[in-house]
Amino acid sequence: MSNILLESFKGDYNAAPFNKIQLEDYKPAIETLIAETREKIDAIKNQAEAPSFENTVVAMEEVSRQLNIVSGIFFNLNAAETNDKMQELARLISPMLTAFSNDIYLDDVLFQRIAKVYESTENYDLDAEDKMLLKNSYLTFIQNGANLDEEEKKKLREFDKELSDLSLQFGENALAEVNKYELVIEDEEKLSGIPESIREMAAETAEEKDKKGKWVFTLEYPSYVPFMTYCEDRELRKEMYLASSTKNLKGDDLDNQEIIKRIIRLRYDRAKLLGYDNHAHYTLEDRMAESPERVNAFIEDLTEKSLQRGKEDVAELQAYARKKGLNDELMAWDFAFYSEQLKKEKYEVDKELLKPYFPLDNCVEGIFKVAKRLFGLQFELTHLAEVYHPDVKVYDVKDEEGKHVGLFYTDFFPRAGKRSGAWMTVYRNQAIMQGEEERPHISIVCNFSKPTKSRPSLLTFDEVTTLFHEFGHALHGLLAKGKYSSLAGTNVYWDFVELPSQIMENWCFEKEALDLFAAHYETKDKIPAELVERIKNSSRFMSGYMMMRQLSFAKLDMAYHTVEPDEVHDVIEFESKQLASTQLLPRVKGTGMSGSFGHIFQGGYAAGYYSYKWAEVLDADAYELFKEKGIFDKETAKAFQQHILEKGGSEHPMELYKQFRGREPETEAILRRDGLIEA
């Protein structure tokens, strides 16, 4: 029986044949590819020739290419276009892949071949990229239990299978909780303060849910954030906040608390089994930060320099809210509402004032124009590659000379089968296989407001920065120029991966860049210079509070992954205790972020959430060079492309950064940018 996933992908780009893939294709395809890959690995480990870099390390790098692509398609769609049957299938496929991965990394014969090459590195003529591949290959085996005895290997397999299952369950529960909640409003007076565009979107949501004549708000980002920002009814804001902040913490069948406790126990025991003090020590062995102690020192240093400003921000907002008639203490459900008003009053700028200048289509053209000015890239819409949903578009990316760079997929609107948030992902990494280069296929997935009957999709300024952020990740993937897939694009140390994404956000604050795309969707007038200046000035608004908020997430993450798991008796209580020193608003009993903290319990940020701030230090320091030389300076952009974007994980990130900047980054750059110290 034919299976499209087992055939060589054909067509102009050898792209994923989304239109032809059936749900029932995945499991047999992955089973077949596992079997084929296993045979190839057996041939590598049992060959008569002595182990060498080429016949063992490079051979292992290439052996699972098709399996990685097919499983990548499945899990990418399970995040962007899932359903009950696909989630059920994920619960079957995920353990299969985990078991196969364990079979590889717990194979002593294979490990001994890798180890022999690693221990005799000086016998081979290896460049920096080769050495990084060898080091990563060896360390991956060590970190996955290659040195364990048979009983310990069996235990590791059990840990990994259960962790895989629990991570999937956590994500499914979080998505189900978001999809489950609706705030239905029947009285239009309750919508006081909410802009017409948001009302229209809520009315269309109601219509989709067979509640015509009403307004429905959900916990999806494009609905939740505007509601909390503009709704004048404090009780409704409180209701919405509590719905969001008790996600998966209610003690019902979607509760994630026991899953969290089990995940941190398994990660801790797994790390101990492998010889590490805890999961954070295990994770940070191949990070720029290197150790939990250094991460905690980093968090504490920024906390010390930001806490007082954060307290001043909240005190200022409390005083403003009192002036506006709030007699009670400022609560979490008040923050977005009053801060938006104060921001508008201080800087004469607000989200709704800016949105008309940022139609989504213009913003997409904007990221393309910025990429062309910086890196000479051209993005041409193509219909020669298939898509998995009508909302998805595909672009053929070319360089200045018209040479194919890669495929770029965009998927921008929320739907029931898509998880919340925004992310970049890969369908095929750049690599050189048997002497032939394969160019990358990269995607960004977001949850922006859909067009309505009367308006195009209009982005808030925060959404514009999100678009640029994810596009930065995409550029990292698209411009990859190495030999090995596992070192290409965003396959870098985790605390380095956010540099290309976060640096791109800086162009959103520059008139020279905004003039390329920011124009009123009705009048076509470019965004006024004085409005851009107000955006820049307002970017430091509540910067102390926002710094503390991000640091609190990082602190909680590190606490979960350094603590003795038995100390986490109660998830909500543990979170409250850990965040007490950074808490700037009164904590509300029964609320917490842990239940839906997908970054660390579903995604790859466990013991790594600090990397957002770590990378912000890098990006602020790097962007100061662009500011000094000119934001579209070709020489600076070329250096950033050659030393950062093209190199992926081919060398240690600090070495790459120094090649670009000429020195190590300075922490003060982020404090200057945020206005926390004098520029």
Instruction: Name the residues annotated as catalytic.
Output: 470
How far is 232 from 478, CA to CA, in rounded Å?
Answer: 44
**DSSP letters along 9-44, please?**
P-STT----GGG--GGGHHHHHHHHHHHHHHHHHHH
DSSP string, 571-586: HHHHHHHHHGGG--SP
Do the beta carbons of residue 375 and residue 356 sit within 8 Å?
no
| CA–CA separation, 628 and 208 (whole Å) | 51
Q: Which long-range contacts (CB under 8 A, 24 or more apart) does 120-128 make?
A: 124/52, 124/53, 126/53, 128/650, 128/651
CA distances from 618 to 472, 553, 661 (A): 14, 19, 10
φ/ψ region of 11 (left if φ > 0, alpha if ψ in -120 to 50, else beta) reads left
Which tokens belong to 242? 């509590």
The CA distance from 671 to 507, in Å, is 18
DSSP output for 589-658: TT--SGGG-HHHHTSS-TTTTTHHHHHHHHHHHHHHHHHHH-TT-HHHHHHHIIIIITTTTSS-HHHHHH
Residues contacting 463, CB < 8 A, separation 6+:
358, 446, 448, 449
Number of Cβ within 10 Å of residue 88's Cβ equals: 12
Q: Which is it for the CA torsion 498, 501, 507, 508, positive or negative? A: negative
- Choose among 116, 126, 120: nearest CA to 146: 116
Token digits of residue 47 = 């060959």
Q: 580 pairs with which residues across the strands?
A: none
The structure tokens listed for 11 are 């067509």
d(CA 514, CA 461): 11
Tokens of 243: 């719905």
What is the Cα–Cα distance from 97 to 166, expressed in whole angstroms?
Answer: 15
How far is C-alpha 266 from the geometric centre of its chain's CA atoms? Answer: 24
Q: Where are the beta strands (DSSP E) in 335-454?
A: 378-381, 393-398, 404-411, 423-428, 431-433, 436-438, 441-445
Please enumerate in sequence order all residues whose Cβ is within 8 A of that of 93, keeping only pairs 6 or more positions apart, or say none.
Answer: 26, 27, 30, 71, 74
Q: Pick the closest to residue 123 from 40, 50, 22 (CA basis).
A: 50
Phi and psi torsions of 52, nearest 5°: -140, 170
Output the CA–CA distances (angstroms, integers) from residue 492 to 82, 133, 337, in the order listed. 28, 12, 39
Nearest C-alpha neighbor of 172 from the set 260, 88, 261: 88
Beta bridge partners of 445: 411, 423
Residue 510 identity (one-letter amino acid)? E
CA triple 49-55-56, angle to 5 deg: 105
